[in-house]
Structure formats: structure tokens, C-alpha cells
Chain A
Amino acid sequence: MELTLHVWRQKNGQDSGKMVTYKARDVAPESSFLEMLDQVNEDLIKQNDEPIAFDHDCREGICGSCSMMINGKAHGGRKGTTTCQLHMRSFKDGEQIYIEPWRAKAFPVVKDLVVDRGAFDRIISSGGFVSVNTGGVPDANAILISKQSADTAMDAAECIGCGACVAACKNASSMLFVAAKVSQFANLPQGQPERMQRVSNMVEQMDKEGFGNCTNYFECEAACPKQISVGFIANMNRDYLKASLLHQEPVGKA
């Protein structure tokens, strides 16, 4: 296969950046999208050019590192697929491919296709955890959890934090990510003690990071490589409403 790539090149955060056109030659249809980029980079290195910088780690669709817009679609838009699991057989010989980084104020470009997703880490630090006391190991079945709750929590916990939801949203909103991280605990008994405080803190941090708002047009759900449902956003909306209206500090002494 031979392809024409239009790739966003940007030296660093200060550089204004631009699209640069490259040819990808002798691409095997069974190679992955990242392998195709590796091949282009080898050519660039041989020509003493700077290789295209992109994030990647596990290359098996579970780490959430690889992140790029391919022809305007996060991870290329193939259902339930990360960029590393996208194969070149999904493209036609001679196709023009546009490759851009995630675009969001909260995800500043570090270099080329690499963006800083630290905003997600700060949202997690603000409440995406359960506090567990140290001590003896608790009995495995001391807390009963229905299969349905466990499955729902697991569906939310599938989120790999890649940021495709933000990239696909016209408002660069991170609602699907935050909703998944809120809901994985909201559906488990272990998440109940901090439930109200958690959703308040995480939504507050999300707003502080400069993500946009939800228009409920559900591009995030379609773009999510883990197919996280927007039902979790409704979950978060419900919890945040409850927390805002009803949650109060400890009553204290008169």
C-alpha cells in the first residue's frame, strides 16, 4: 500500500505548528497504524529528519497512551478500537490520511501528536479513589455485591483514560471520562462513603481544568475505544445534582 499522510508537526508547546505531507510506501495491510508510523519515522531518521512524535505504550489496546485524530475521528473511528489496534487494512491504497493531535485547551500539545493529559490525573487525584484503611485483610465475601452492580462498575472501569471522548467532543468536554471514573465507585458498596464528596470534587476539578460542557450529542460514546455508555454521564448528572442540593458538612455541636 502507498498512502499520503498529512501530519501535524509542532516542535514544542510554544511553536505554532503546521500540517506536513509525507508519503508512506510499502505499507503492509496487516501492520497496525502505529507500525505504519514507525516505518515512516525510520525513513525520516534515515533522511536526517526529526521523526514524528506520538504517544504509545502497550500496543494492545489497554493502556490508553496512543492518541491521535485520524481523518477527524479519534483513534480512526473504528468501533471499540484504539489507534494501536487499528490496522492498515481499514484504509484504501493511495488514501489521503490526516493525522492530528487531540485538540483541547486542557490538553496542551507537547510535541507533534503528543498532548499533556495531566488534567485527567488531577481529576483523579481530586476524588477518583476509595479510602481504605490499612490492617488485616478483610474477608473476601464480607460485602455482598450483586452481579449486576459488579458488571456495571466494571463497564465503567473499562475506561483507559485515553482522552478520545474529549477529542471527539465539539466542546472538548471530558464528561464521559469523569462519569466513568465517578460511576465505577458509585456502583459499588466500597464507593458509597465518599460518593457525594467524590462527584463534587471531580466535577469541580474538571471545570477548573478548562474542559467544555456537555451538549448531549454523544460523539464521545461513539469515539470511545472501550464503548463506555453515556448512561454513566446521566449517572454523574444525577449524583452531582443530589450532592449539590442535599450533601452537607458534618452537623457538629450546637
Chain B
Amino acid sequence: MSWIVRLQKSSLGSKYIMAITGAGLFVFLIGHIAGNLLLYFGQEAMNAYALSLHHLPYGLLWVARGGLLVFALAHVFIAYRLSFHNRAARPQRYQYEATLQASFASRTMPYTGTLVLLFILFHLAQFTFHLVAYNGPYTDSLGRDDVYTMVVNAFQNPVYSVLYIISMLVIGFHLSHGLSSMWQSLGLNHQKYNLLFRKLSPLAGWVLCLAAASIPLAVLVGVIK
């Protein structure tokens, strides 16, 4: 087992973990946002979907939640450890700083990452634990959890809808670098597939985040009521 400890501590091992957990979190995000796009199909579709998630067989919901938590914790822990090492590797900064080709997103990963973490904590506190900015409980005419009304009510307040839209853009930036970086970290760089690795992957991240941002925007302008 000592080799696993050594591997996760090494610079490259840390990057493998960042890539794999990042990819896992992205897969979750696809499911999460696709599910929530059901808001466009009305109260019945959204609430039925939410209920079906809670009744997944074999306790799959908890398996998914557990896996998600492990992935998220590993991603955050290793990210901060890497950032700490990176700062230590350059104790004295340059007086004159310049870059030649690094993108804005790639230079700000620790910052966008921290903002995403804060957003996730707020998002959980609001919609999962109902601790902040929650005016519920909400129940629909069939006695189900009324996820639809909960989300629409929250987003009718421009403070929350704007906060969510901005957060989606921050996640977009984080993903635009992360989704291309993960391939390189795992050693996947190939002339024939670099279009996928460097262009299509960041594009997929942006499409997903803009789709998610469209939900609070749609509520704000009254497309979803």
C-alpha cells in the first residue's frame, strides 16, 4: 500500500487525482443540470423527477451521494495542497509579471475553485438543508415535495437569480480550463484528438453552465413561473 501513499503525494499523482475527480464531478454536473432543465417542462415533470430520484432502488441515491462527497473532498483537498506547494515553490515573486499564452481561466483556477466551493456550500444550505433563503416547506397538490415552486420562488428574488447566474459563469471558467487540463494530466495529448481535448471539452463545459444559468434567467424574465 505504501506505493499508493507515495503516488497520491507526488506531483503527478496529485494531478491524476485532480483529473479523475474533476471528471467525475463533471459527470455529476451533467446529470444534475440535465435534471433541473426539467423546470422548463413544468411543475409535474420536475416534481416527478425529484421524487423518482429519492426512490432509486438499492439505496443508489446514497451511493451516489457518498461517491460525490468523496470525489468533492478529494478534489478540494488535493487542490489546496497543490496550491500550497506551488506558492512555496516560488517564495519571491517577479517585480514585473507577464504571460505569453496562459489563458485567464488557467491562471485563476485556485480562485475560481474557491468561489465554486463557496457557491456549492450556499447552494446546499439553500436547497438541500433549507438553512438560508428558504421560504418553505413546499408541497404540491399530490403531497410531493414541491421542488418546482421552491426553485421558482427563490429565483424570483433577483438577488438569488443574479448570484446563481454569476456562479454559473465562474463554474464555466473553471471548467473551461479543467476540462482540457484533465486530459493532459492523464497523459492524453495526441495530434488526432487534440481538437476534443483542447476545444470541444471546454466548449461542453460552457454549454452546460450557460444552460444552467438560463434557469434563473428564465425565472427572472418570467418564462418560467
Interface, chain A (partner B; CB < 8 A): 6, 8, 19, 69, 71-73, 77, 98, 100, 103-106, 168, 170-173, 175, 203-204, 206-207, 210-219, 221-223, 230-231, 233-241, 244
Contact = CB atoms under 8 A, between A and B. Distances in A.
B94 A100 contact: yes
Question: Which 7 A/B pairs are nearest by Cβ-Cβ distance?
Answer: A238-B187, A72-B98, A234-B189, A212-B89, A217-B106, A171-B86, A222-B100
A218 to B, nearest CB: 6
A172 B89 CA distance: 6
Contacts of A171: 85-86, 89-90
A104 B180 CA distance: 27
Interface stretch (B8-16, B58-66, B116-124): B8-16
Contacts of A8: 95
Interface in B74-108: 82, 85-86, 88-103, 106-107
A125 B156 CA distance: 64
Nearest to B187: A238
A104 B100 contact: no
Contact of A105 (B88, B96, B106): B88
A69 B100 CA distance: 13
Interface of B: 3, 6-7, 10-16, 82, 85-86, 88-103, 106-107, 109, 177, 180-181, 184-189
B109 A230 contact: no
18 contacts: A69-B96, A71-B98, A73-B98, A103-B94, A105-B91, A172-B86, A211-B11, A213-B14, A213-B82, A213-B86, A214-B185, A217-B102, A217-B107, A221-B101, A230-B184, A233-B189, A241-B12, A241-B186
